[in-house]
């Protein structure tokens, strides 16, 4: 026969009631979350990721409330168990917030894909959400660890003594944490002002590539030859760089060629037009051939063509360059750039009258 007058018996009964109430409340919460996920597709990802932390938060919170009714003796054992439950609840809440932030980021990425032709808005949203979510995760984890440590009396005393002498200590910590804090602040600036976005085409340190990832401290740029360039976030705030897709992915590409002055330009312009019309990379905006430079040997031509993005522009420029060179070699081979020399008649007569093996002077004109 149980003695309900005994304090430990009442405490055990309270714990059992708390656990049963936790199970009922958890079922109710799951039903409400499922209905929310059905009505709001974006919320389905949040519900799926937040389910595991909730499974830990609810029983820990109920047990912590039940421990308020625990007997006073032995106080050391009860206080120790209550402290462990409190730290576990703080960890579970931190886990819950981090999972919710990650679920929000995943939902935004899912409903705003960047594998589209016009993905400027999607890239802007993904960049903001990714950078801000990573920053929020770091802040949440740091706060969770700080709150958990402050539950220990020794840590609280250390914190109080540190605040009492926070002059030099704060300065030293600030100097030591300058790179971390600088990148953290730079990440917030990038998220708000967006000098770069996910999938932007950039030139950094002389390397052409696309922004593959933006973390809380660095940016990963995928170079055209599959290498990865890791750049601190602070670099994009303090140093100049090229962004080819800041407002639009459309771009102009130029092809520079040298030909003889005698080459007629109208047939070459017609050939350029034909090459562009046959190329799927051309977006039908710009197709121009101009003489942009000249010297004593030849003239320099520039074929200016347009494409929807930098990748197509590279392919189109290669096709135009190969096509124009092939056209000139086939139709006007005499006008390819070359060095020419002309022998004057007087020199020829002198050479004819000179004895064998005599030195000859040739006047060359390029």
Residues 6+ apart with CB under 8 A from 350: none
The CA distance from 159 to 144, in Å, is 16
Q: Where does residue 301 fall: left (phi above 0), alpha (psi -120 to 50 degrees), or beta otherwise?
A: beta
Quote the distance between the C-alpha of residue 285 and its chain's center: 30
DSSP 216: S
Separation in Å, CA 160 to CA 146, 148, 165: 14, 16, 9
Q: Are 101 and 73 in contact (CB under 8 A)?
A: no
The CA distance from 302 to 300, in Å, is 7
DSSP 355: P
Per residue of the chain (366 residues), give pLDDT as tens: 445 555 556 666 666 777 777 777 777 777 776 776 666 666 666 667 777 787 788 777 777 777 666 655 555 666 677 778 888 888 888 988 888 888 888 878 777 777 666 666 777 777 878 888 888 888 888 888 888 888 777 666 655 554 455 444 455 545 555 666 777 787 778 878 888 888 889 999 989 999 988 887 889 999 988 899 999 888 888 899 999 888 877 889 999 999 998 899 999 999 999 999 999 999 999 999 999 998 888 899 999 999 988 889 999 999 999 999 999 999 999 888 876 555 555 555 555 565 554 444 444 333
Quote the distance between the C-alpha of residue 124 and its chain's center: 11
Length of the chain: 366
Q: Are 205 and 198 in contact (CB under 8 A)?
A: no
Tokens representing 330? Answer: 């086939």
Separation in Å, CA 323 to CA 254, 257, 276: 14, 12, 10
């Amino acid at each position: 026969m149980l003695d309900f007058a005994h304090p430990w018996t009442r405490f055990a009964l309270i714990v059992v009631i708390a656990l049963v109430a936790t199970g009922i409340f958890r079922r109710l919460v799951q039903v409400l979350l499922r209905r929310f996920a059905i009505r709001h597709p974006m919320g389905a990802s949040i519900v799926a990721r937040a389910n595991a932390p909730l499974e830990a938060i609810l029983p820990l919170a109920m047990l912590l409330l039940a421990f308020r009714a625990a007997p006073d003796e032995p106080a050391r054992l009860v206080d120790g168990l209550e402290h462990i439950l409190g730290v576990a609840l703080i960890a579970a809440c931190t886990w819950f917030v981090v999972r919710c932030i990650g679920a929000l980021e995943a939902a935004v990425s899912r409903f705003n894909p960047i594998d589209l032709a016009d993905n400027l808005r999607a890239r802007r949203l993904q960049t903001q959400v990714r950078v801000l979510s990573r920053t929020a995760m770091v802040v949440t984890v740091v706060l969770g660890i700080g709150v958990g440590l402050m539950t220990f009396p020794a840590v609280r005393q250390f914190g109080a003594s540190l605040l009492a002498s926070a002059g030099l200590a704060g300065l030293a910590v600030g100097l030591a944490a300058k790179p971390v804090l600088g990148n953290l602040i730079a990440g917030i600036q990038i998220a708000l002002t967006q000098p770069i976005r996910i999938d932007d085409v950039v030139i950094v340190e002389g390397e052409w590539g696309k922004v593959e990832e933006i973390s809380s401290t660095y940016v990963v740029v995928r170079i055209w030859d599959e290498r990865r360039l890791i750049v601190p976030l602070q670099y994009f705030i303090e140093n100049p760089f090229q962004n080819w897709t800041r407002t639009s992915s459309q771009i102009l590409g130029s092809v520079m060629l040298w030909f003889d002055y005698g080459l007629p330009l109208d047939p070459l312009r017609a050939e350029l037009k034909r090459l562009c019309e046959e190329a799927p990379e051309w977006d039908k905006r710009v197709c121009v051939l101009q003489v942009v430079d000249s010297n004593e040997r030849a003239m320099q031509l520039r074929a200016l063509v347009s494409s929807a993005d930098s990748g197509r522009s590279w392919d189109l420029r290669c096709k135009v360059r190969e096509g124009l060179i092939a056209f000139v070699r086939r139709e006007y081979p005499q006008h390819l750039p070359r060095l020419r020399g002309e022998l004057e008649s007087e020199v020829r007569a002198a050479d004819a009258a000179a004895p064998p093996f005599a030195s000859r002077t040739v006047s060359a004109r390029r």
